[in-house]
Amino acid sequence: MKLTNRLGLPRSIENAVRNDRYSKGDAHISVTSLIGPARKRALEIKHADEITEDVAERIWALMGQIAHGILERADDQAWCEERLFIERHGWRISGSFDRYVLEEDGRLQDYKLTSTYAIKDGAKPEWEAQENIYALMLREHGYTVSRLDIVAILRDWQKAKSKHTQDYPQVPALIMPVETWTPDRTEAYIRERLIAHGTAQHVLPECSADERWERPSVYALRKIGNRRANKLFDDRDTAAVALEEAGRGYEIEERPAEQKRCADYCAALPFCTQGQQLVKATQDFRLAQHWSVSGPRASAA
């Protein structure tokens, strides 16, 4: 991967990003890559020498490393940032968990520096899978694991929103317990993911909606002239009823599906026809909507 610094950020930031010491170790694949999209990994391997990423785009990853380093240094109770290895179906898999406390009957925790939107439905499925694979690794090395947690640190949390929005997190950090899988379920998941990653080296699969971090299309009820929605609806008919009840001065805006990983977090996008088509479809929809809405208003003025 080629690293650029188009904004001329300080050399200290550039060096910190460039000197990322993360390594999967002597393994074919890491747990983080295993739970990720097979298409994305295959394209990143194929185009490793062509992929370009800017220092500014790596800031949140850098902040995550800083947070992990400080938390590891401050922990006087747990076993932290240890890399373990297991062999499965001809693959050597490595994983580095964040925090394991044997004295608490084997409590395994993973830190996530994340957004409030990311946890609106609880812990992400891939976080749950990641924790359960780490638990399997620990058990295989002779340790007991009885509880799995995600420790979410919300980087965009706002106190004002916590006071006025009912379903908004009330604190900027929280512990989210995740389900502990049976060993058979964990083994089946690992096998499924290894097959997907192995196949992707020969035939590229499509990324699923979950893998693309898709935000489905919605219909927004809003005051005319406002950008912020009063309420969001999943279907047009329900939105139309709400518009009728709201009366004059309101409108319905259709907001297209967004592929958040493709658009903002996938370094392989320049080489991914699927991602490019989906991102372009969203852009084209917004452009067409802009003209259909602003055109008549401009002429009426």
pLDDT at 301: 34
**Contacts of 286 by beta carbon, 8 Å cutoff, 6+ apart:** 256
pTM score, whole prediction? 0.87
- Max mean pLDDT range (15-24, 142-151, 217-226): 142-151
Band of pLDDT at residue 291, cut at 50, 70 and 90: low
Pairing of β 218-223 and β 250-255:
antiparallel
Band of pLDDT at residue 77, cut at 50, 70 and 90: confident
Cα–Cα distance for residue pair 180/136, rounded to 1 Å? 10
Token pair, residue 249, equals 């001065």
pLDDT at 300: 35
Q: Yes or no: say if 132 and 145 are a contact pair by the CB < 8 Å rule.
A: no
- For the four alpha carbons of 7, 259, 18 and 74, in that order, the dihedral sign comes to positive
Q: Yes or no: say if 119 and 106 are a contact pair by the CB < 8 Å rule.
A: no
**SS3 at position 2:** strand
Q: Is the pLDDT of residue 292 over 90?
A: no
Cα–Cα distance for residue pair 238/235, rounded to 1 Å? 6
pLDDT at 180: 96
Pairing of β 218-223 and β 2-4:
unpaired
Nearest one of 261, 263, 269 to 282, comparing CA atoms: 263
The residue-averaged pLDDT of 197-210 equals: 96
pLDDT at 297: 41
Q: Is the pLDDT of residue 226 over 90?
A: no
Q: Yes or no: say if 83 and 96 are a contact pair by the CB < 8 Å rule.
A: yes
- Please report the domains of the chain, with CATH numbers, ordered by start residue: 2-200 (3.90.320.10), 214-300 (no CATH)
Band of pLDDT at residue 295, cut at 50, 70 and 90: very low
Secondary structure of the chain: what % helix, strand, coil (to 5)?
Answer: 45, 25, 30
Q: Yes or no: say if 73 and 165 are a contact pair by the CB < 8 Å rule.
A: no
Token pair, residue 287, equals 């452009």
Q: Greater confidence, 226 or 88?
A: 88
Tens digits of residue pLDDT in 136-190:
999 999 999 999 999 999 999 999 999 988 889 999 999 999 999 999 999 999 9
Token pair, residue 64, equals 């995550």
> Helix 38-46 vs helix 183-200: angle between axes, to the nearest 10 degrees?
40
**SS3 at position 82:** strand
Rg (CA), the chain: 22
Q: What are phi and psi of 127, to 5 degrees?
A: -65, -40
pLDDT at 294: 41
Chain centroid offset of residue 157 CA:
17
Q: Yes or no: say if 124 and 65 are a contact pair by the CB < 8 Å rule.
A: no
299: number of Cβ within 10 Å = 7
**Which segments of the chain does DSSP mark as H helices, in order?**
11-18, 31-35, 38-46, 59-74, 125-140, 159-164, 183-200, 236-246, 260, 273-300
